[in-house]
Amino acid sequence: MTQSYFVKTFGCQMNVYDSERIGELLEAEGYAAAPDAARADVVVLNTCHIREKAAEKVYSDIGRLKASRRPNGIKPVVVVAGCVAQAEGAEIVRRAPAVDVVVGPNAYHRLPAMLRGAGAVDTDMPVESKFMQLPPRRAVIPASAFLTVQEGCDKFCTFCVVPYTRGAELSRPADALVAEAEALVAGGASELTLLGQNVNAYRDVTTTFAELLARIAGVRGLVRLRYTTSHPRDMNDELIAAHRDLPQLMPYLHLPVQSGSDRLLKAMNRAHTRSSYLNILDRLRAARADIALSGDFIVGFPGETDADFADTLSIVREVGYAQAYSFKYSPRPGTPAATMGEQVPEDVKDARLAELQATIGETALAFNRASVGKRCDVLLERPGRRPGQLIGKSPWLQSVFVVSPSAKIGDIVTVDLIDAQPNSLEGAPVILTRAAA
C-alpha cells in the first residue's frame, strides 16, 4: 500500500522551502501527500532552534504524535529535520526515544535512504551540495514561490544559533538558480522570493548578488522578484542600484537592525551602527523613493538599559517601518550572549516587547494609511473569509483584501487602495491585469 507523508514546518522561510523539497523527494519515492499529520504514515517535523520556545514545541509535538495511531492501528514514523536536528542530533533520540529519524538541514537529500533503514541520525554538513541530489521541482507551483540561493551564516551575532545550525555561508551556482527559477515560473509562479540566511552575501565565482537578481528578473513570465533576509553589512551600491534599475524587483526590503543602541549593536557583534544603518536606508530611498522597510528587533539583550531601549523605540519611529518583527531575547546554548552578565528579567522583557510592538503598530498603520488612494497591482494568493473575497499582496508586501467574484488565486488585479488597518488594506478592483497561468 502507498505510504503517506506530512511535513510540519516551524521557523523561517528557508524551512518552508526545505519542506517543499522534502515533499518532492518523498513523492519521487512513491509517498503520497497526507492532508494532515494525524493521517500520515510518516510525519516530518521541520524544526527551528532560534528561540527556546520554538525548540521546545518540537518535543510536545513528538509526544502527541507518538501517542496517536493511524486508522490501521500503526504508529506514525516520526522524523525530526531542520535546525533542532542539527543542534541537538542524537540527543533528540535520547530525550525522545520514539523519534525514528533525525536529519539535519544539509543532509535531508538522504532521508529516503534513512527511511529504508540506513541510519537514524545524520547531521553531516556535506560539502557536495544537497541541491544537486534533489529531484526536479514539482510541475504545479504556487503563484508566489521561494527559491533558496544561499545558505548559512558567517556573521556570528552573539545571540544567534544560525551559524551553528546552518553552517558556513554557501552560495548555489547562478546557472542552477536561473534554471530552477525558469522551472518555477513554468510551473505557475509569477513571483519569486530569493532566500538565504544572509541572502545578500550571495556570491558565485562569476556572479554578484545584484547580477543574479538581474538574471532572474529576466526570466520570461516572471512578474515580481523579492529577496530576504539581508544583512546591513552586505548592502552595497550595486545592490542598491538594482532597486532603481530592475522593474521586477518589488519596492520592499526586510533589513533587520535588532537594536537602535550602538552600545548594544556592538555587544551583539552586528558590525553596523545606528547611523551606518540609517545611511543605507537613505541611499535605498534615493534609488527607490517608495521602498517599504521591514526589520527584526530583539528586546532584553543582556545589559539592555532603559536608555538603550529608548534608542530602539526612536529608530522605529525614525525609519517608519511598514512592518517589523520583534522578539524577547532568548538565551541559546553555545552562543556568547547566553553567558553574558546582566541578563534582563523576564517581566522587563515583557513590558519592553509590548511597548515596542505598540510602536511598530503605529508606524505600520501610518504606512498603510499613507497608501490609501494609491492604485497598485495585487497578486492574489489565498481565499478570504467572506464569499468572493481574496487576499493578495501589494508591491509593498501589504496584505490586501479584494472582493471580486470573477478573480481567482494567482491572478494579478489592479486595485484602488481604499481603506487601511494596521496589518491589511482593502482594495477595490479596477481591472484584471494578468490572469493566473
- Give the binding site for ligand SAH (CB under 6 A): 50-51, 159-160, 162, 197-198, 229, 231, 256, 258, 296, 298, 327, 329-330, 332
DSSP 3-state assignment of 166?
coil
Contacts of 153 (CB under 8 A, 6+ apart): 160, 162, 163, 166, 168, 169, 197, 198
Q: Which of 144, 165, 171, 398 binds ligand F3S (CB under 6 A)?
A: 165
Taking the CA atoms of residue 308, residue 157, residue 285 and residue 359 in that order, the dihedral angle to the nearest 10 degrees is: -40
Indicate the residue among 107 and 344 with the shorter CB distance to ligand SAH.
Answer: 344
* 166 contributes a contact to ligand F3S by CB under 6 A: yes
Write down the least CB distance from residue 336 to ligand F3S, Å.
Answer: 17
Return the residues of window 141-180 that contact ligand SF4 according to CB under 6 A: 153, 155-157, 160, 162-163
Cα–Cα distance, 238 to 244 (Å, whole number):
10
Taking the CA atoms of residue 250, residue 254, residue 255 and residue 260 in that order, the dihedral angle to the nearest 10 degrees is: 130
List the grid coordinates of 277. 544603518
Q: Which of 15, 193, 197, 261 binds ligand SF4 (CB under 6 A)?
A: 197
Q: Which residue is nearest to ligand F3S (CB)?
A: 11
Indicate the residue among 16 and 246 with the shorter CB distance to ligand F3S.
Answer: 16
Cα–Cα distance, 113 to 97 (Å, whole number):
20
Q: Which of 47, 144, 198, 394 binds ligand SF4 (CB under 6 A)?
A: 198
Return the residues of window 28-67 that contact ligand F3S according to CB under 6 A: 48-50
Indicate the residue among 23 and 187 with the shorter CB distance to ligand F3S.
Answer: 23
Judge whether 329 and 337 are in contact, CB under 8 Å: yes
Indicate the residue among 333 and 388 with the shorter CB distance to ligand SAH.
Answer: 333
* 254 contributes a contact to ligand SF4 by CB under 6 A: no
DSSP 3-state assignment of 415?
strand
From the list ligand SAH, ligand F3S, ligand SF4, none, partner contacted by residue 156 (C-beta under 5 to 8 A by kind): ligand SF4
Burial of 88 (0-12, 13-18, 19+ CB in 10 A): buried
Cα–Cα distance, 254 to 295 (Å, whole number):
5
Write down the least CB distance from residue 82 to ligand F3S, Å.
Answer: 6
Chain centre distance of CA 183: 21
Write down the least CB distance from residue 134 to ligand SAH, Å.
Answer: 23
What residues make contact with ligand SF4 under the rule CB under 6 A? 153, 155-157, 160, 162-163, 197-198, 231
